Chain A
Amino acid sequence: MTASTAPPSAPLLAIRGLSKAFLGVQALDGVDFTLRHGEIHALLGENGAGKSTLIKTLTGVYQRDGGTVALEGREIAPRGVEEAQRLHIGTVYQEVNLLPNLSVAENLFLGRQPMRWGLVDRGAMRRRARAVLQPYGLSIDVTAPLGRFSVATQQIIAIARAVDMSAKVLILDEPTASLDAQEVAVLFKVMRTLRSRGIGIVFVTHFLDQVYEVCDSITVLRNGRLVGERRTAELPRLDLVAMMLGRELEAAAHRIDLGPAEVDSRPPLASFKGFGKARSVEPFDLDIRPGEVVALAGLLGSGRTETVRLVFGMDRADKGEATVDGRTIRLKGPRDAVRLGFGFCPEDRKKEGIVGELSVRENIILALQARQGWLKPIPRRRQEEIADRFIRLLDIRTPDAERPIQLLSGGNQQKALLARWLATEPRLLILDEPTRGIDVGAHAEIIRLIERLCADGMALLVVSSELEEIVAYSRRVVVLRDRRHVAELRGGEVSVERIVAAIASETPNVIASESTAGAGSGAEVRQ
Chain B
Amino acid sequence: MTLSAPGPARNLPQYGALIAVLLANWLLFPDFFAIRLQDGRLFGSLIDVLNRGAPVALLAIGMTMVIATRGVDLSVGAVMAISGAIAATMTGAGWSLPAVLAASLAAGLLCGLWNGLLVAVLRIQPIIATLILMVAGRGIAQLVTEGQIVTFTSPSLAFIGSGSFLTVPMPVVLTIVALAVTALLVRATALGLMIEAVGVNRLSSAGAGVNTPVVLVAVYVWCGLCAAVAGLIVTADIRGADANNAGLWLELDAILAVVVGGTSLLGGRFGLVLSVVGALIIQSMNTGILLSGFKPEFNLIVKAGVLLVVLLLQSPALTLFLPRPKAARPIGTVKPPVAPTSGGAKP
Contact = CB atoms under 8 A, between A and B. Distances in A.
B36 interface: no
A443 interface: yes
A353 interface: yes
Interface stretch (A80-88, A178-186, A405-413): A405-413
Nearest to A309: B207
Interface in A318-343: 333-335, 337-339
Contact of A46 (B207, B210, B341): B341
B331 A370 contact: no
B335 interface: yes
Chain B interface, DSSP helix/strand/loop, else mixed: loop
B339 A48 contact: yes
Interface string B111-136: 00000000000000000000000000
Indicate the size class of the contact surface on chain B.
35 or more
Interface stretch (B21-29, B79-87, B183-191, B273-281): B183-191
A256 interface: no
B208 A358 contact: no
Interface string A10-28: 0000000000000001000
A465 interface: yes
B343 interface: yes
B205 A355 contact: yes
Contact of B340 (A25, A333, A412, A437): A437
Most buried by B among A351, A366, A378: A366
B341 A440 contact: no
B332 A408 contact: yes
A526 B157 CA distance: 74
B301 interface: no
Contacts of B215: 374
Nearest to B191: A374
Interface string B189-216: 1110110110011011111111100010
B338 A352 contact: no
A515 interface: no
A368 B335 CA distance: 31
Contacts of B4: 359, 402
Contacts of B339: 48, 223
B193 A369 contact: yes
A352 B346 contact: no
Given A377-B188, A399-B331, A438 B211 contact: no
B268 interface: yes
Contact of A333 (B188, B189, B206, B341): B206
Contact of A437 (B206, B329, B337): B337
A55 interface: no
A223 B338 contact: no
A369 B342 contact: no
Contacts of B341: 46, 48, 222-223, 245-246, 465-466
A398 B331 contact: yes
A303 interface: no
B323 interface: no
A369 B190 contact: yes
Nearest to B332: A409
A361 B264 CA distance: 22
Contact of A409 (B207, B330, B342): B330
B332 A411 contact: yes
B238 to A, nearest CB: 38
A355 B331 contact: no
B336 A370 contact: no
Nearest to B334: A409
B269 interface: yes
Most buried by B among A25, A353, A370: A370
B330 A372 contact: no
A402 B269 CA distance: 13
A376 to B, nearest CB: 7
A355 B197 CA distance: 6
Contact of B333 (A223, A402, A439): A439
Nearest to A346: B207
A221 to B, nearest CB: 12
A194 to B, nearest CB: 32
Contacts of B332: 397-398, 408-409, 411-412
10 contacts: A46-B341, A46-B342, A246-B342, A353-B204, A370-B210, A371-B209, A407-B329, A409-B333, A438-B338, A441-B335
Interface of A: 25, 46-48, 222-223, 244-247, 299, 312, 314, 333-335, 337-339, 344, 346, 351-359, 362, 366-367, 369-378, 397-399, 402-403, 407-412, 420, 433, 435-441, 443, 465-469
Given A367-B208, A367-B209, A437-B340, 16 more contacts: A25-B336, A46-B341, A222-B341, A355-B201, A357-B269, A358-B193, A375-B190, A377-B189, A377-B190, A407-B330, A408-B331, A409-B333, A438-B338, A441-B335, A467-B342, A467-B344
